[in-house]
Structure formats: C-alpha cells, structure tokens
Structure 1
Amino acid sequence: MQDPQITLVQSSFAKVVPIKDAAAGIFYDDLFETAPHVKPYFANADMAEQGSKLMATLAVVVNGLRDLDKIVPVAQELAVRHVGYGVKPEDYNAVGASLLRTLEKGLGEDFTPEVKEAWTTAYTTLSGVMIDAAYGKETEK
C-alpha cells in the first residue's frame, strides 16, 4: 500500500471509531443478509462481544498498516483459527463486501472513491495474506 492510501484508511477509520458499536451492528446485519451461509459460524457467539472484537481487530490492523511486519503474523494466526470455525476462502469476499458497505453507510459523503479504493487495497492485501496462511498459496482468491 502507498502512504496516501494508508492515511486515507486511518483517517476514515478514525471517523468510524465514535460509532463503532453501530458500525459493528451494520456490518453483521449486512453480512448475514448478503451471505447467510456464514451465520452458523456465529451460532454460539455473543454478537455484542463479537462486534467489539471485530472493531478492536480492525483498529489494530488499521493502526499497524505502516508496520505490516507486526500485523501480518497476527492476521495469519487469526486466519488459521478461523478455519476451525468453518470459514472458507470464498467467505473473505463476502466479509470484504460487507466491510465496504458498512464504511459507506457509516461514513456517508466521506466515503469517497479514493477512500473506497484505499480500503479495498488494504482489505485485499490482508485477506490475501490470511487466505494464503490458512489454505495455502495455491488457493483461489
């Protein structure tokens, strides 16, 4: 990622932080509506706690974009754990799409084409690393 993109991701996420609980709700509502096959992954989850974990994880990733050597191993471990929950490589696309729609709803007019592109680049990069770690480099993305 280029530095201006990192700045866009970080500055736009800073605007989401004050509405993080609502954003997590928007995200999971969107995900379960658009990819209902993932809902069983969360059958035993406290969704408020899950939302808090999601936002905390996003904060770590967003704040670490300038130091990928620190966040990549954590993301890789997370991806390997997700295999045990039943997550499949194609689920990453659904999550990415829901993330973008959540940001669009949460940021409103601040969700510019440049912000969308920066988030898409960040998510695609990180999800690629996670898929490779969990399923091997030959896996279709």
Structure 2
Amino acid sequence: MTPDQTTLVQDSFRLIPPIAEPAAAIFYEKLFALDPGLRPLFAGADMHAQGRKLMAAIGFVVANLRTPESLLPAVAELGRRHAAYGVRAAHYATVGTALLATLEEGLGPHFTPAVRNAWAAAYGLLAEVMQHAAEAPARAA
C-alpha cells in the first residue's frame, strides 16, 4: 500500500461509524448471498455481536495501517483463529468482494475509484498475511 492509499482508507473509514451497524448487516447479507456455504461458519453466532466484532477489527486495522509492527502480528493471529473456525483460502476472495460492495453501498459517492483501489490494496495485504499465517502450522507439520 502506498501512503496515499493509507490516507484514503483512513479518511473514508471516518464516515463508517455512524452507519456501522447497518454496514455490518449489509456485509453479512452480501457475504451469504455470494456464498451461502459460509453461513454454517456462523451457526449459533449472535450476528449483531459479530457485526460489532467485524467493525472493531476493521477499525483496528485502519487505525494501525501506518504501524505494521503493531498491525501485522495481530492480523496474523486473526488468520490463525479464522482457520480454526473453518475459513479457507477460497473464502478470502468472497469476503473481499462483499467488503468492497458494502463500502460502495455505505460510502456512496465517497467511494471513488481511488478509494476502491485503496481499500482493495488494504484488504489484499491483510488477506495475504492472514492466509500465510493460517497455512504456517500446516507447513510446519
């Protein structure tokens, strides 16, 4: 990610807190529409609480984009935890698509092509770190 992309992600995320709850609901609606097979990963989950966790995780990432020494170990741990929940490499593309579609809907005209590219770069980096961490135990075995 470039410094300009980081700024775009951080600036655009400031518009999210007032719409955090509906944005989280939209995200999961889009996620399950794209891949209904993901729904069982959330069986028994309180989706309102799950939405709050999602928004908190995104907020942590956005706040720490300029401090990779803080961000990347936490993201790697998140990847390991998600692997234990049953998340597989193929799911990351679906999550990225749902995230970008949610941001587009939530940010409306503020979701410019440059903002889209910045969020795609941020998600791509995070997904790569998470997948690498999730695969690490399998490689070590």
**TM-score after normalising by structure 2:** 0.95
**Percent identity over the alignment?**
48
| Counterpart position of 1:109 | 109
| Counterpart position of 1:53 | 53
| Counterpart position of 2:28 | 28
Q: Which runs of 5+ in 2 are unaligned?
A: none
Shift of 1:116: 0.3
| Counterpart position of 2:76 | 76
Q: Which runs of 5+ in 1 are unaligned?
A: none
| Counterpart position of 2:127 | 127
Structure 1 segments, 4+ long, off by >2 Å, are none
Q: Secondary structure at the match of 1:119?
A: helix
RMSD: 1.1
2:68, 2:28 → 1: CA distance? Answer: 26
Residue 20 of structure 1 contacts residue 55 of structure 1 at CA under 8 Å; is this kept in 2? Answer: yes
Deviations 1:18-50, CA, capped at 9 Å, x for gaps: 100010000000001111111100001000000
| Counterpart position of 1:98 | 98
Shift of 1:110: 0.6
Q: Secondary structure at the match of 1:79?
A: helix
| Counterpart position of 2:87 | 87
Residue 89 of structure 1 contacts residue 135 of structure 1 at CA under 8 Å; is this kept in 2? Answer: no
| Counterpart position of 1:64 | 64
Larger deviation: 51-60 or 84-93? Answer: 84-93
Q: What letter corresponds to residue 43 of structure 2 in structure 1?
A: A
1:18, 1:4 → 2: CA distance? Answer: 24
Alignment coverage as a number of residue pairs: 137
| Counterpart position of 2:18 | 18
Q: Secondary structure at the match of 1:78?
A: helix
1:10, 1:85 → 2: CA distance? Answer: 29
1:117, 1:83 → 2: CA distance? Answer: 27
2:131, 2:125 → 1: CA distance? Answer: 10
